[in-house]
Structure formats: C-alpha cells, structure tokens
Structure 1
C-alpha cells in the first residue's frame, strides 16, 4: 500500500521498500514502477489495480502483478541490485496481527531502476495479466527504458540516410520479419540495419520488443551485439554491429560454398556452442533462442560465429524444465517434441544446433520431410545416421574439403556429437556445456552412443 501511494509521487515513478515482520522476523521486499510517460494519477490507478490483484499470488513467497504501464512485486528474499541506496523514509506501515508499526525505507535506483521493470517482467513466475480497466499505454513508450542499458535511440531519418533510403544496393538479406541493410552512419561507423515489416502484426511487434529487451542485457563474443533501435510511429528498426562476412548459409549453400576449410568450420561449430552455453547456462537469464539455423549464424571479419535474430527467443523460468507453447520456428531445424507437443526447453536449441553441425560438415541443407512422396533420402539427420550405422561417417563430409586438411577421427567424433544432439528424446541430448567438453576432448565418444533421429512428416 505504501508503494502504491508513494511511487506516483516520486520522480521517475519507481520505488522500493523492505520491512521486517515483528512476529517471525521475516523481511518483505517490494518494488513498484510506472512508465514515465504515464500521468501521476494514471500511475496511482494502475498500481491500485495491481495491488488489489496481488493477494491472488498468495501464499507464494514471491508475487508479481502488472498492467499496461505499471508493475509491482513482493518477495521474502532480496532482489534489489547492489547499486541501490537508501534515499528517504516512507510513511509508517501497519504490519503484523497486533498492529505494531515499523518504518520501511524507500530505495531508489542510482542507475538501472527504470530498466528493472523490464527484467522483472521477463522473469515473472506469478503474473497478474493486464486489467481491461487499466490505462492503455503504447508499447513504444516502455522501450525507452533500455536506453539505460547502453543502447542508442536512432532517428529514422538518420538511418534512412545511412542506408541510402533503404535501397536495394545496401540490402544484405531479407526474411519473414523484413529486410537487413548495410548502413554508414554520419560518423563513418558501418552498421547492419534490420527494418521490420510490421503490417500491424502484434506478433512482429512482440518479436521486436523481445529482441530489444533480451539483447540489451546479454553480451558474449559469440552473440551479435545490438547497438540501438528506432521506434517512430509504425517504424520498428534494430541496429546491430555489422558482420562483414554475412551469414553462414552463404558459405555452405550459396555463392561462397567451398570457401571454408576444416579449421574454420570447427571454430564456427565451437563458437556457436559457446554462444548457446552462455544463453542457456551462464547468463542470469535462461534464454531459449528457438530459431538456430545457418542463416541466423553470422560471421565476423575473422570468420568467428555470432548467433543472431532473437525475435523468437523465450525465457525459461528457473523453476521450470520446459514451456508449453505453440510451435514457432523453421521446419527442418526444429525438435520433434516441440513440433508435436509444444514442449520447449533448451534441448530444442540443442537439436537445432545438431542439425547446423551436420550442415557445416556436409555442406548439405537440412529439409523438412513432406508427405507428398518418398524423400527420406533428403533428410540430413537420417542420412547421417545411416552412414554412422555402417561406419561410413566420412561419406557425409563436404566434397569441397581436402581430405588432407582434417583429421578423420575428429570429424567422425563431431558427426557423432551432432547425432547425440538430434536424438528423438530430449532427455538423451547433452547440454551445451557438455557439448563444449566433448568438442574439446581428445578422446572418442566410447560411452555415449546416439539413438536414431525421429522423422517428422509435415503437410
């Protein structure tokens, strides 16, 4: 209640408190925030809705509620970042059965306070969905909080100039989301400009905000770095560091096929594994990419791999083994349990990674099976499995590779690692950190025997 009344009065519309219950010594931590574009009264009414919904989270020791424009959270364990400091005392609050009174301290963020709402929203375990009666706030207003994460808010006219009015000459590629252009900013910096085609699509809008919020808070040498964004009217643009060598699929199936030698391919395989390990296990968020494929792997100047396109990414709460969700992704790269049952976990990324590894080794593109004929021979994991069973692993290797350029046993081992990743049962697949260990080990996979991939036929 104190946060409900205090937050609208504070500059920045965010406040936090902690208070100790006198009866059992439990400390309650709480945080509330409104977006800065809302009015003071709008903030109060929004938090009022959240406050009245909070009891439905009980008796959980952690609860969160949000509406369009505000967020409120409580917990009996501290979740405040280290860069918070005490700045003032709020009104006395009645606590405990005997009505004893104790002062609670409001804590204000020195930096990052506005950003916390975005991270907490993503991490929520006890959500109260937005109230129909709450004030409607345009999503573009919320995104301004990510500027505190070091991202740049670009002007549309500057990006238009940088890409020569988004001309065909500057286009790097195009997909279902829109097109990516090479841009040269006023200071001479070269960037990649991803212009989304919204078409008033809520899904594309959500993909945009998902990518901004995730990439503003994750950093790794094997992830493409997001530099900034543009959100003006119906325009949604993401600005990334420029990858001179574009995407991996061009080196495997396109105009640069045959360019990569074995060492370069191995380094790419290892780099992707490191990037996924960071997303799954090392970042403070458990992130499932959901769309690992060769055209979402970019190569920098040194041909090192960078995972890109986080529009479909999802967060996996710490207390869950998987999410149940509608299938979204690319057939031919997608795990069977996700297609059939909608069960999404890190092991779905592991499956996709295995497909990509087979593509890198073979120079062949994985295709989804269709029920219009007998095309099993075109299903890459099945081909690899059949060769593995007969001990003919090396027949899978890209014919553009010089046999004197690689160690046959190492290649065999990596094919077997890929087959471990593409097993039909998710529990049998290794984690990404285990895969790194297997890739870097000198020995063979004597105690790890893959099982046959599952065939999924699509209409």
Structure 2
C-alpha cells in the first residue's frame, strides 16, 4: 500500500466491518467490538507510519481506535472523496444538517483526525450552540468553513493558534459574542469577508475595506497598470490583476470613458450597493474608483474559468452540472430575497467557476429593470445550455431558434439534444429529461405564471442530493450513444406538454424520483396561448 493513510483508515478489516453497518452510519457503533487481531493491525499501521495520531497516544484504547477507523471510512465516503482507499483530503458536509451534528459528536474521530485532511466544510448545516472546537484537532487544515449556521457564544481565539496552515476561513452568518479577534495576529491574515454578520467584528470593521479607492491605490496594486498585470484590453475597458496593500489579490476592471457628473454619481451609488453583497455564489465586489478620467470596479480575484469554457473543455458529468445549477439558483435567490434591486447576468460566458466547482455570478446591474419572469427566462436558457452544451448564438434565430430546436426534439428524440458526452444511464437520463422539461417551462413565453426561484431551487436540490446518493443501476446501454432506448417505466412516464380543453398549455412534471419531493406529483402551469 503506497499511501501512508491507507492502513490508517481503510484496511480490509475496516471495509469488511463497515459494509455490515447501515450506510447512514452507526446506530450500533457502540456495540461493535474489534476483532482479535486488531492489535496486530494497529502495530503494523504505526510501524508503517509512526506519525499517525493514535500511535503517539499515551494510552492505546483499541475499541476507540476501531470505532475511529469505521467512522473515518464512512465520513470519507459521505464527503465524496474520489477514492477513499487511497485518499481522504476533505470533510464536506455542507447543506447536510441531518448528518453533520452526528459526525461532530464522534469525539474519538476528531481526537485521531487523519493528517491528510486539508479542508473542512460544515457550512449551512444548522449547527447551533458553542463553537465546535473538535474540528480544531485537525490542526493541519488549510480551509475551514462554518458559515450560515447558528453558532453562538464565546469564540475560542487561542485555540486557533496551532492552525498555522489555515489560509481560508469563513465564519460568516453566525451569532458569536463580539471579541477582540481583530487584535489577534493570527486573524490578521484574513480579510473582513471571513466574518460578515458573525458577531465577531462590528459592521464598520466589516466594510472598512470595501470603500472608494483612489487612482494611486489602483496604480500601486497593478505595478503602474503594467502590461504584465493586464489581462484584457478592449475598446473602453481594461482588466488587470492586482494586489492590495493587505495582500488581497483582486481583479480591477477599468473603464476609460467620459461620462457626465450625474452618471458618475449614479455609478458610485450602484457600487455602494454591490460591495454589500455577500454570498458564496457571488463574486465579491471589494471597492470602486471614480473620478473625472477613470472609473473602476475592484472584485476578488478568481482563477477559475467560465462555465462556457468548462463545458467545452472537460465534458463534465451530470452531478457536477447539477451542482452548478444549484449554486446559480442559490445566488439568484439571495439577490431576490435580500437585494431585489440587483439583477445578475447568468449567461454561461459570465458565470465563473471556482476550483471546488462552485459557480460565481460575476456581473450585476442595480435598478429594478427586469421582471421576475425575465430572470426565470434567463435561467431557463442557462439550464438548457448546461444540459445540451449548445449555445443560443449557434442558431439563426438566437434564443428563439435554440428553444425551438429543443422543443422539436422533446421528448421523443432527446438523445439528439442532451449532451451525449455524459453517457447517462437510464435512471440518470430520466433526471436530465425532466431538466429539459423545466427549462422549456421557464422559457415558454405563452404561459402567464412561471415557476418561482424557490420552486426551482427545491426541485434542483432534491435531484442533486439524490444524484449524489444514487448508485448507478445496471442498464443495457447508456444514453448518449446515438440510439434511443426506453424501458417500460420511462415510456409510462412521458412528460409532454399538453393542451387543455381551453387551449391552455399544461406542463406535467410527473417524476417518481427526484425533481419534486412527493411522488408522483403533477405541477401545472396554465395560461392561454392565444
């Protein structure tokens, strides 16, 4: 075995035992006993890798280490690590409030936290109470995200001192007691965005970095607007990569145009709104510059590519496309619920992608310019492009031609529409089919009532969760090979737009699996077509 932590976690022994336990982990964990040769296994592990935490323990509790091994095996898989026999790089339980507290309760796991873990994400898991100091036993981590929870009380500043490798921290949207965190040398490595609405620093401290910047500050950040720092140059716009005084890497978009004083003031007022946007699926606007000769917007730096580039270059699988859709809708919902005057451009050439496959909405307009139905229409186009890997501009009539192409092939010839590179098995192909249905519903201008963003979010998240948990079933052929194949169940579950007796369009999303929580469910949107 090549990897140092293979013997730590997933020995043949632990795999054999864990397979006998329920996949959700551990109602009977306390009753399990290590086998007779477990002591020998532990000794071999420590000989192979003496740095393992339990090897340095003053007293070896075999039962505790045995339980640790089993929980580690399950947690590695729950966190979607690609190959738990060889690696356990991250703990990722975000958006999973049902199981995150369970794993936090296993103090014996955190006591022997695997040294290979570099990232822990427990965001949006409904955690409550005091700070979960157990996670700090993983002192080697580089990233920690506990945002969007209900954590409260005193914050353990001193307990963070051993985390010398920590470079990414997000404690936003919690309820900690205000502390002198800004006085700690350790926390000066993080900017204010790590603590938005956490209670740890004041509102004024939070936004003191997101202010008006002077031309000289931008000049210093870009080494005098050097060509080496320049990324894009086009008529009227130049984009630079820069570094602010505190070390924050930024993207600086400079507009070299002459506008009236009124327009400049309007630009500043819009920027004052944009710097207050805080969501993991929105590019963070850090500041702006505005004077007679120059305007600029400063945003966080992202190394990721656009969704368009990602689709074209990597043939991403279905579950990652669902993750993108889920994140985009989450960003749109945040704006709708908190900043309804802000509209985001959600075209696939403007949405960025992080290394962790989180989408980032990157272009915004301030002002109530668009109705909600228009936003839903844009998302419908985005959804169809994600599933088909086709672009509206490829068609002679643009968006109208693209939608007509999809509609003409729905539902009988969807193998001609859905991106064949995904090679979807039948059970997953059914999910993509219902995604096409949702996209057509969102873009159908003949109906008066479209699904809301909250409905869309619920549908997509249910499918994404089930896709992560769904073991691919055996099928004779995967869709995407250029030939049609439908089993009896799928033939019975056709979801075609129908006409009611009044001439209304009726969409039936009858999904026995995932798009809607109850099954089967019929969601009807009706309106007069003429």
TM-score, structure 1 normalization? 0.51
CA drift at 1:203: 9.4
Q: Is 1:264–2:320 an aligned residue pair?
A: yes
Q: CA deviation at 1:346?
A: 1.5
Sort the Cα spacing of 1:188 and 1:358 in 2 relative to 1 into closer, same or farther, 3 A: same
* Alignment correspondent of 1:385: 407
The 3 A distance-change label for structure 1 pair 447 and 391 is farther
Instruction: Write the distance in 2 (CA, Å) between the matches of 1:406 and 1:172.
Output: 44
Residue 476 of structure 2 is aligned to residue 437 of structure 1: no
Deviation at 1:206, TM superposition (A): 6.8
* TM-score, normalisation: structure 2: 0.45
Counterparts in 2 of 1:166 and 1:393: CA distance versus 1, 3 Å: farther
> Given the superposition, is the C-alpha separation of residues 450 and 422 from structure 1 closer, same or farther in structure 2, using an over 3 Å criterion?
farther
Equivalence for 1:398: 419
- Aligned to 2:422, the other structure's residue is in SS state coil
Sort the Cα spacing of 1:250 and 1:417 in 2 relative to 1 into closer, same or farther, 3 A: same
8 Å Cα contact 1:381/1:419 also seen in 2: yes
Unpaired segments of 5 or more residues in structure 2?
1-203, 463-512
| Higher strand residue share | 1
Separation in structure 1 between the aligned mates of residue 399 and residue 297 of structure 2, nearest angstrom: 40
- Deviation string, structure 1 residues 229-265 (Cα, Å, up to 9, x no partner): 2223321111111111032222235xxx235332221
Contact in 2 for aligned 1:355/1:418 (Cα 8 Å) = yes
1:422/1:265 Cα in 2 relative to 1: closer, same or farther (>3 Å)?
A: same
- 1:9-408 matches, cutoff 5 A: 151-173=210-232, 178-200=237-259, 205=264, 208-209=267-268, 211-253=270-312, 257-280=313-336, 282-283=337-338, 285-289=339-343, 291-310=345-364, 312-315=365-368, 344-367=370-393, 375=397, 379-388=401-410, 390-403=411-424, 407-408=428-429
Distance (whole Å) between structure 1 residues aligned to residue 381 and residue 235 of structure 2: 21
On the 8 A contact 1:181/1:194 being kept in 2, the answer is yes
Secondary structure, in 3 states, of the residue corresponding to 2:239? strand
Residue 148 (structure 1) shift: 5.7
Superposed CA RMSD in Å reads 3.5
1:16-62 per-residue CA deviation (whole Å, 9 max, x = no partner) reads xxxxxxxxxxxxxxxxxxxxxxxxxxxxxxxxxxxxxxxxxxxxxxx
For structure 1, the residue ranges without an aligned partner over 5 or more in a row are 1-144, 316-322, 324-343, 455-459
Partners of 2:439 and 2:234 lie apart in 1 by: 27
Question: Hey, what does 2:437 align to over in structure 1?
Answer: 416
The SS at the match of 2:409 is: helix
Three-state SS of the structure 2 residue aligned to 1:364 is coil
C-alpha separation between the residues in 2 aligned to 1:224 and 1:177? 22
- Structure 1 CA distance for aligned equivalents of residues 351 and 314 of structure 2: 17
Deviation at 1:222, TM superposition (A): 1.2
**Alpha-carbon distance in structure 1 between the residues aligned to 2:453 and 2:282:** 15
The equivalent residue for 1:23 is: none
Q: Distance in 2 between matches of 1:392 and 1:313?
A: 41
- CA deviation map 1:400-430 (0-9, x unaligned): 3343598111111111111111110463211
Please tell me whether the aligned partners of residues 376 and 382 of structure 1 are also in contact (alpha carbons under 8 angstroms). Answer: no
- Deviation for aligned residue 1:194: 1.4
Cα deviation, 1:310-362, whole Å, max 9, x if unaligned, reads: 1x3323xxxxxxx6xxxxxxxxxxxxxxxxxxxx3122111111111111112
Q: CA deviation at 1:379?
A: 2.2
Count of paired positions: 271
